[in-house]
Amino acid sequence: MTTRDALKHVVMIICICLLVPVSGTASISNINEFLKTCPMNDPAYNQIKSDFTIRHNGTIVSFDNIYCTEPASLMNVSQYTDELIILQSLRVIYHMDFGRSGYLPWTSGTLYAWMKSKIKGFDINDSAQGSSCCGQYSDGLYITLNPKDDLTRTADMTWFNLPYAIALYAHEARHVDGYAHVSCCGIPNGCDQTFDLNNLSPYGIQWWLINSFLNGNIDVGLSCGLSASKISDTAHYLLTGLNGNSGYQSRFCDNKPSTVTMPQHPGGPCPSNPDVKANGVDAYCIALPGNTVSVTASLSPGDWNGETADYWIAADTPWGFYTLTTSGWTPGIQMLAKYPLINIPPVEIFKSSLPIGQYKFYFGVNKLSNTIPDSLLYFDYVNVTVLTLTPIRPVLFENTLNNLSQ
């Protein structure tokens, strides 16, 4: 094989599977791993770019110029900017709902959809002394944020403090609905009159979100992959923000939220984590006609080990949905099996070449075990695109190949 042929072979390998390090999960099953990834590697990145804008002192910041390198939660704090914190927060808000809607007391939709309907974005103002709502620009309303110091940005790199950033954004967005602060608690314009679960004020929404992150009503996998001491530190930090003089409890006058106690499983139990890959790659794989596509599925049961669940394996194809059953791949949507959740190493569920077109392979489990692929299904997916035989010659290799031919 000539050097030129060898390089062509390398190009072909690159084109067979693009190594895009992103997760295809619809929900967040391990927030600690999630925050190690960068926004630009998230399948929802372009959607978030379209829905929200970040400004700094009024000037629009290009999302693509926000620096991030993985593992993001281990970056140097000087490089972990306020803009990156906003992006990471928006990613969590986008994914954390698990496809649910109607579970938030103040909106019938998701937190992401509600915030999108209230604000256009965020303006980091170097002269701001705190956060406020809202600054008006030609394209909409912006939450004003003060720059964070190194200590706060360090805490925001992980799930230790990021819940408070998310709750703050929701607090400020609530002001768009006409909710103003009062001074009855002794803090000038720093309190809300009454805590009412049926009509949550800005501080009420903050309390509700932090409480939900602590008790697992919004379960993003706080307890997954962390030591017991780190789980305890994060849980106690969330609990401190809810109760007493240092918590949101003190920000109400007529009626205060009840004192919260530490739950048995802070953040909720670590959920099962399905994983599906095509040719060993997460999220997105490109193949050529005649290339073999091998799809594997694996499962980490988390704290649900041994509990019965419904297993679902499906493929969205140019000819409609197919599901894997005990009889093989079958048209339509059917459950594979009802079985205890256990650790499953990668198992090949499909191996063949595919016709030209777009495909998406899914693997999910449902602990409700109700034979319905509903909103509590934890799943992962991988996209497979089979291209035409038109030669693909990346620009980076073009000059090299031409030089070798001379």
The per-residue pLDDT for range 82-110, each reduced to its tens digit, is 999 999 999 999 999 866 778 999 999 99
Which residues, in sequence order, are bridge partners of residue 307?
none
Separation of alpha carbons 277 and 298, rounded Å = 9
Nearest to 296 by CA among 378, 387, 361: 361
The per-residue pLDDT for range 141-163, each reduced to its tens digit, is 999 999 999 999 999 999 999 99
Q: What is the pLDDT of residue 100?
A: 75
The per-residue pLDDT for range 235-261, each reduced to its tens digit, is 999 999 999 988 999 999 989 999 999
- Cβ proximity of 264 and 1 under 8 Å: no
- Quick check: 306 pLDDT over 70? yes
Q: What is the pLDDT of residue 75?
A: 96
The per-residue pLDDT for range 12-68, each reduced to its tens digit, is 333 334 333 333 344 687 899 899 999 998 889 999 999 999 999 999 999 999 999
Nearest to 352 by CA among 364, 343, 361: 361
Separation of alpha carbons 264 and 102, rounded Å = 26
Q: What is the DSSP string of 105-160?
A: TT-SS-HHHHHHHH-SEEEE-TT-SS-EEEEEETTEEEEEEPPPPHHHHHHHTSTT
Percent of the chain with pLDDT over 70: 87
Q: What is the pLDDT of residue 403?
A: 41
Q: Domains along the chain? A: 31-255 (no CATH), 276-386 (2.60.40)
Residue 239, C-beta contacts closer than 8 angstroms, at least 6 positions apart: 214, 260, 262
Please give the C-alpha separations between residue 153 and each of 85, 162, 164, 195, 271, in angstroms, as whole numbers.
8, 9, 12, 30, 28
- Quick check: 213 pLDDT over 50? yes
Q: pTM to 2 decimals? A: 0.73
Q: What is the pLDDT of residue 379?
A: 82
Give the range among 287-291, 325-329, 396-400 with minimum mean pLDDT: 396-400
Residue with tokens 């997105």: 284
- Cβ proximity of 159 and 180 under 8 Å: no
Local confidence band at 193 (pLDDT 50, 70, 90 cut-offs): very high
* 381/235: higher pLDDT: 235
